[in-house]
Structure 1
Amino acid sequence: MPDAILRLALPSPLRRLFDYRAPPGIPAAALQPGMRLRVPFGRRELVGILVEVVDHSEVPADKLKPALELLDRVSPLPAALFRLCLWTAQYYQHSLGDTLSWALPVLLRQGEPAEARQERFWQACEGARAEDPRLARAPRQRQALSTLAQHPHGVPHHLLTHLEINRDSLNLLLEKGLVRMEVRRHAPAERHAGWLAQAELPLNPEQRAACDAVQSSFGGFNAFLLAGVTGSGKTEVYLQLIHRTLEAGKQALVLIPEINLGPQTLERFARRFNARIALLHSAVNDRDRLDAWLAARDGEADIIIGTRSALFTPLKNPGLIIVDEEHDASYKQQEGLRYHARDLALVRARQENVPILLGSATPSLESLHNAHNGRYALLRLTQRAGGAQQPRFLRLDVKSRPLDSGLSMPLQQAIAQTLEAGQQVLVFLNRRGFAPTLLCHDCGWIGQCNSCDARMTLHQRSGELRCHHCGHAERRPSHCPSCGRLDLRPVGAGTERAEERLALLFPQVPVLRIDRDTTARKDAMSALFATIQRGEPCILVGTQMLAKGHHFPRVTLVAILDADGGLFSADFRASERMAQLIVQVAGRAGRAEEPGKVIIQTHLADHPLLVQLTEQGYFAFAEQALSERRAAGLPPFSHLALLRAEAHKPGQAEGFLDEACGEAERLMGEAELGGIELLGPVPAPMERRAGRYRAQLLLQGNARAPLHRLLALWLPVLEQMPGGRAVRWSLDVDPIDLF
């Protein structure tokens, strides 16, 4: 019988499998797809994933190396997740080894055992009482025993300090036989009797209809789009559907767009459910992430909450997938494996045969198009929960008006009135830093990044000029580098400047800035939100971090300082993103008893898009935008792929793309592939970034199948092109960012 040949996927950009002999002493019958093996690869050792076992190889037998070590007794990847990875690699035209590496937690990629931590748990012994005479003179031991008695499932060792249990007291109780310690597998949380820890809220007829529609498809695949206005109670629909999922003995996977939404989502779910909840995102340390991943795989986590990468979490008993804020661009991975978590969640739901619910107040045009075509069932929530009213929009024309750090006088007066009424104000400006430009008033010098075609942003607090594209930072100059004069002026306003000015205008209330700079420290976001939730008058200043899913019941005025940026852009999606952002930010206003007002500062108060959005609502805008996309043949009525290239020298990237374009035209002719248009190559809108010159070639197809057929033929050719060695290139299937 010929020796078994192992075909492995290695964490490499190469779109191929690698052949090895089985490790000595390991029979072929013991091997199954998804197992990890440590193998030699050049001078390194890599952890590869077994894809298949075959009996022949194109590599000569004497050149085949044996794998060094089998790392798993059983595959850590369930068959369903393995199939999802195969589909993902094929659809996004990506290396299978790299795709499987994305799907595994970091520690498993490094070869660590696929085993959860063992943790010590302390429990009161049966019959042990705090009134035991042996504890008459030991108040700390009595208190420790009383606390343990309140936790019949035991207390993990790492929570002893949190519960104010003295470890010396525990050791003495252990000697007296009043407590016991056992080592158990670490799990996210213990489940108690009954699923609900907090009463469910009553549903209005629209919410109840949505819940019933989704529940009716339990046990089979169906896709639902929950389009609810901001504050309409979408989260309550999620919670009640999850309750029904848990009662059916199944697990729920909930995807959220931002890390910053994780703690508040976890807290809300933990208050509602007596369930084991796992949280997975990039800020969770590697050990905790692996434990949560394994708990979900083995059915020991009931609810899994996470950002886009949590999509690859294995589930033993999948029952429901929820994608919150489905329109959000954060679901698209922009480097490496450029997958879209929302789209892959739909594929996974179909493969796992479970329903999926996509929720948003501002659904993407792609999702609305799918709902119109019957691919998704559309569920509408048109009323705010609790009888709250929709906010009132006011377009404030600031043409010819003086602006004080971006703030007009009518806006300042509206802020003052809101604060005097004891309410809160949210000021939105999607530009962090103090000012986007530093200008010499004498000679016109502007602070440019040396590595990018971009101006550097002034950060006043740190005294730095920073490039928000490549991360370069330098000290703010004391005089003009060009003419030597001292009159350097900040031009424009960012969140830091708005915060500073508002603090001077309204010294009697706290001004809280919420952007990437102020929330970088651990727990900073939680501390800011704790201040907001106290309900006292304050001003929130922030970027789009404030627009996503937050509930601020005391905010009654939302001010959007600059709404004009998305009206003039080369990106055809800019107006959609601007509309979504305005509606999402506006949705923070008037979510409780007090009515809300939204003031939009603009130099184009009569622009048709702004008029339609503020007077007729998002769905009227979306219908108009879809008709324009249909007429122009743009997604979702066509399909895109973007080949990007970058190089150290000007012209190299375009030269590579010129050659690639020629090869694509040749392949289209040979394979008789029609309905595909090649646009470019052209320099990227920001041609130079981080010291590299960038260019791109856009492929647009009327139908998805011919486009993907071309990509499959084209990529092996690109990998062999001589010009590809001097450039760094990547392919983005279904790109959402053309820059």
Structure 2
Amino acid sequence: MAFWPSVVIATPAHSGIGASLTYRSELSLAPGTLVRVPLGSREVLGVVWDCPAEPPEGLTVAQTKSVVGALEGLPPLNERWRQLVSFAGRYYQRSAGEVALAALPPQLRELDATQLARRLKRRAKASAQPDAAPDGHAPPAAPWPALSVEQAQVLAELECANAPVLLFGATGSGKTEVYLRATQRVLEQAGDGQAPTQVLMMVPEINLTPQLESRFRERFEPLFGAGAVVCLHSGMTPAQRLTSWLAAHTGQARIVLGTRMAVFASLPGLRLIVVDEEHDPSYKSQDGARYSARDLAVYRAKVETEALATEAVAGRAGPQPSSLPGGEGASALRCQVLLGSATPSLESWHAADQGRYLRLEMPGRIGGGSLPRLRLVDMNHQPKGAVLALPLVAAMAERIGRGEQCLVLLNRRGYAPVLACHACGWKSGCPHCSAYRVFHKLDRTLRCHHCGFTERVPRACPDCGNLDISPVGRGTEQVEEQLAGLLADVKRADGGPARVARMDADSTRLKGSLEVQLAALHSGEVDVLVGTQMIAKGHDFRRITLVASVNADSALFASDHRAPERLFALLMQAAGRAGRDATQSAASEMWVQTWYPQHPLFASLKKHDFPGFAAEQLAERESAAMPPYGFQALLRADARTQAAAQAFLNAAAEQGTALPHRDEITLYPAVPLTIQRVANVERAQLLVESPSRAALQRFLAAWQPVLLACRSLPEARGLVRFAVDVDPLSI
């Protein structure tokens, strides 16, 4: 007897291959089984989506290929995971196989059944080793800190919440302790008999994982054993990612800590999803399936809760939900999602205003400390060409003399954004991109941050031979250098010289360098830390009492409607690094250098008034029908010429006039991207808007065949790829 499994594989939506492919199998394969199947001359990994005993109508044996083999020893990916992947594929206009296979560890896609069996055997042998200390006793657990009144109240309300929870807590209010206590409550619950309860803890960036991982390990490994906490992010090696994924998939790992990719982790016992810094744009993928991990976390919690309720009704998960109106039993039958931030995204804030989310607030800081006082420095009154205002430098010197630390925020790495010749006008443009190469003084290179093209700095201007070429603008390297000179005569409290360090993507690119730099800051070896936005959020720096932003004006007048929201969040988060020790909070300050001190954004920032700022921004967006009051998608095209890219987009718009719900859709003309050319590929985009999310989704789904047909148009010759970006974060 033959079976006809439907298998999804990693095929991009624009390939036109289809959602799944049908194969033959002598065995009945459970949905969710990982299999190796032939595709052309290759053998690839796929996921069984269905396995009927009858072939699809019109399909013959000669038209199908046989499954090479299943990856035995792995439990199938459950129905809730497949439902999440299917939804993500439909909503973000990608194939289910592209989403599913991208969510699996890269190494898993390369292993055959024999190699996987050896890997599982080694894992089983390692997990059989005792977790206890050599004397036979588990390491003692550190004492848990006492909860504040606000933390206790939030945890009590969280336990009874039946909707997604938005935790609006000031920086330093103790949100992490709330995450830890909520995790403890979930892990102490009984599982469903098939898997122990599990928690997914998401952070926006890799650099936030080390200190959070150490806190979770310190808290929960004494209770649940070594291996209870694993990480999942792109900074891990393929072998590490596979090990962590297998631990989560088999239920051995109770807590998965990861970045946006972790939202697709296979967690059969998932009962809590925490999205820390939920406002952060890093949760929105910009490659492949352009998904929002925050939004998918909300959807995944809904799917998991519905599945648990269904199983309870069927008598497979304990008591009936109708008999459990609240309390511990009810919480065991749901998966909660907790979104935390001191500056929530306006979409989440609006959802809470509408009652779709439950908003819980923690406005006070732990220990009763106060938020830092804002000081605006009017750069119109400073010497021409000054990078750092003299009063700011004096304030930093005073702090260093008292043994305190300072943080300087400049969201631009390198020494200078461009190198220029003032004699002929030459600038250090990239030959492959419509962007400038950044001058990095430490290794004397010009480096394109878009395509990676790097060259040594020329000795003279390549166009006119002028020897006097100079940097224009400033980056973190330049600010670090200038601060070191300005503070050269400043003495620390112990009499030593002031020490300035830098933390950005360049200084932390080597493995382990981030942990070393963070340790140096926490130990007090560094007095002033200069860095990009990676230092502005999530970190618990206890000795910092002064934070300075030296280039905040760049986003004040940007064309992107989200720019003010991002700037306000960045400055609020950066300010939150100061005064986290309650004994020093009264003297903590946030200095902002600006040429526009009267801008209304700074008025809200001065009062730490996020609700007021959000109300103003939402009113502006409502009047302009912008998200969250309207819904958007971008059709992006990459081609060898800009004409071909725009021709494809305009043809797609013209041929979409007869599609369903076209009267509810606005299609704007195609335009080049801000960075028009990257790696010799021209880029253009077309904006799609609608007041209805449902109408937009139906139109996009019906548009896909049109887009595939437009690829072959003569005027679109040279098209490299196209992609639909639903709910874009930047336009």
CA distances 1:556-602 after superposition (whole Å, capped 9, x unpaired): 11110011011111111111101100101111111111131011000
**1:635-664 alpha-carbon deviations (Å, 9 max, x no partner):** 000111110001112300000001000122
1:614 maps onto 2:614 in alignment = no
SS of the equivalent of 2:658 reads helix
Deviation (angstroms), 1:289? 2.0
Q: In the TM superposition, what are the counterparts of 1:336-355 in structure 2 within 5 Å?
A: 336-353=288-305, 354-355=335-336
Q: State the SS of the aligned residue for 1:601.
A: strand
**Which residue does 2:49 correspond to in 1?**
51
Structure 2 distance, partners of 1:290, 1:577, is 34
Deviations 1:4-35 (A, max 9, x none): 32222121114514544424xx23xx312122
Q: Does 1:603 align with 2:595?
A: yes
Distance, in Å, in 2 between the alignment partners of 1:717 and 1:351 is 32
Decide which of 276, 281, 288 is 1:324's aligned counterpart: 276
SS in 2 for 1:47: strand
Given the alignment of the two structures, is residue 492 of structure 1 paired with residue 473 of structure 2, yes or no?
Answer: yes
Secondary structure at 1:651's aligned position in 2? helix
**Partners of 2:500 and 2:530 within 8 A in 1:** yes
Q: Quickly say closer, same or farther: Cα 1:86–1:331, change in 2 above 3 A.
A: same
Q: Identify the residue that residue 182 of structure 1 maps to in structure 2.
A: none
Question: Does the 8 A contact of 1:281 with 1:309 survive in 2?
Answer: yes
Task: Verify: 1:581 aligned to 2:570, yes or no.
Answer: yes
Are 1:393 and 1:600, in contact at CA under 8 Å, matched by a contact in 2? yes
In the superposition, the TM-score normalised over structure 1's length comes to: 0.87
Select the structure with the greater relative contact order (CA < 8 A; seq sep ≥ 6). 2
CA contact (8 A) 1:411 1:599 kept: yes
Deviations 1:403-444 (A, max 9, x none): 666212121111111111211010110010001121213222
Q: Deviations over 1:448-493 (max 9, x none)?
A: 1112221221100110111112211111111111211111111111
- Determine the C-alpha separation between the residues in 2 that align with 1:434 and 1:414: 24
**1:302 and 2:281 correspond:** no
1:78-113 Cα deviation digits (max 9, x unpaired): 221111111111111101111110221222222443
Q: Deviations over 1:675-715 (max 9, x none)?
A: 21111211112222221111111111101111100111100
Residue 241 (structure 1) shift: 1.1
Structure 2 equivalent of residue 166 of structure 1? none
- Contact 2:644 2:717 (8 Å CA) reproduced: no
Any conservation in 1 of the 2:520–2:526 contact (CA below 8 Å)?
Answer: no
Please, which moves more after superposition, 347-356 or 50-59?
50-59
Give the deviation of 1:284 after TM superposition: 2.0
Deviation at 1:530? 1.1
1:400-419 to structure 2, matched below 5 A, reads: 400-402=381-383, 406-419=387-400
- Match for residue 548 of structure 1 among 531, 537, 546: 537
Alignment match, 2:157: 213
CA contact (8 A) 1:297 1:316 kept: yes
1:314 aligns with 2:266: yes
Secondary structure in structure 1 of the residue aligned to 2:642:
coil
Which residue matches 1:34?
32
1:198 to 123, 130, 142: 142
Distance 1:558 1:455 in 2: 29
Structure 1's unaligned 5+ residue stretches are: 126-146, 153-191
Residue number in structure 1 paired with 2:709 = 720
- Give the whole-Å Cα distance in 1 for the aligned partners of 2:121 and 2:342: 40
Give, as a single letter, the amino acid of the residue that structure 2 aligns with 1:525: L
Deviations 1:128-165 (A, max 9, x none): xxxxxxxxxxxxxxxxxxx963245xxxxxxxxxxxxx
Q: Deviations over 1:346-385 (max 9, x none)?
A: 0110111111100000000000000001111000111111
**Helix, strand or coil for the counterpart of 1:319?**
strand
Contact 1:256 1:325 in 2 (8 A): yes
Q: Does 1:641 align with 2:626?
A: no
In the alignment, does 2:148 pair up with 1:149? no
Q: Give the corresponding residue for 1:424.
A: 405
Per-residue deviation, 1:520: 0.6
- What CA distance in whole angstroms lies between the structure 2 residues aligned with 1:314 and 1:631? 42
Q: What are the within-5 Å matches in structure 2 for residues 234-313 of structure 1?
A: 234-249=175-190, 250-273=197-220, 274=222, 275=224, 276-313=228-265
Q: What displacement does 1:716 show?
A: 1.6
Higher mean C-alpha deviation, range 674-683 or range 638-647 = 674-683
Q: Is the 8 A contact 2:377 2:389 kept in 1?
A: no
Q: What does residue 457 of structure 1 align with?
A: 438
Does structure 1 retain, via aligned residues, the 8 Å contact 2:248–2:266?
A: yes
Structure 2 counterpart of 1:632? 624
Structure 2 residue ranges without an equivalent (≥5): 191-196, 306-334, 489-496
| Equivalent position amino acid for 2:163 in 1 | N
Answer whether contact 2:420 2:469 (CA < 8 A) is retained: yes
Counterpart position of 2:90:
90
**Deviation (angstroms), 1:272:** 1.9
- 1:635 is paired with a residue whose SS is coil
1:737 aligns with 2:730: yes
Deviation of the 1:45 alpha carbon: 1.7
1:10 aligns with 2:9: yes
Work out the CA distance in 2 between the residues paired with 1:596 and 1:694. Answer: 45
Which residue matches 2:368?
387
Mapped to 2, the partners of 1:201 and 1:412 lie a distance apart of: 37
CA deviation digits over 1:528-562, x for unaligned, max 9? 11111113560000000101200111111111001
SS in 2 for 1:731: strand
Residues 504 and 534 in structure 2, CA contact (< 8 A), matched pair in contact too? yes
Q: 1:470, 1:117 → 2: CA distance?
A: 42
Which segment is superposed worse, 38-47 or 467-476?
38-47
Contact in 1 for aligned 2:433/2:680 (Cα 8 Å): yes
The alignment partner of 2:592 has SS state of strand
| Number of aligned residue pairs | 665
Q: Following the alignment from structure 1 to structure 2, what is the Cα–Cα distance between the partners of residues 642 and 432?
A: 29
Amino acid at match of 1:733: V
**Contact residue 674 and residue 706 of structure 1 kept, 8 A:** no
Deviation at 1:124, TM superposition (A): 11
In structure 2, what is the equivalent of residue 666 of structure 1?
658
Amino acid at match of 2:38: P
The whole-number CA distance in structure 2 between the counterparts of 1:104 and 1:320 is 21
Contact 1:395–1:605 (8 Å) recurs in 2:
yes
Please say if residues 32 and 74 of structure 1, whose CA atoms lie closer than 8 Å, have aligned partners that are also in contact. no
Aligned to 1:172: none
State how 1:60-139 maps to structure 2 within 5 Å: 60-72=60-72, 75-112=75-112, 113=116, 116=120, 118=122
Change in CA separation of 1:19 and 1:581 when aligned onto 2, cut-off 3 Å: closer
Q: 1: distance between equivalents of 2:128 and 2:49?
A: 45
Contact 1:124/1:148 (CA < 8 Å) preserved in 2?
Answer: no
Describe the SS at the equivalent of 1:50: strand
Quote how far apart the aligned CAs of 1:216 are.
Answer: 2.0
Question: Aligned match of 2:352 in 359, 371, 389?
Answer: 371
Distance 2:268 2:55 in 1: 35
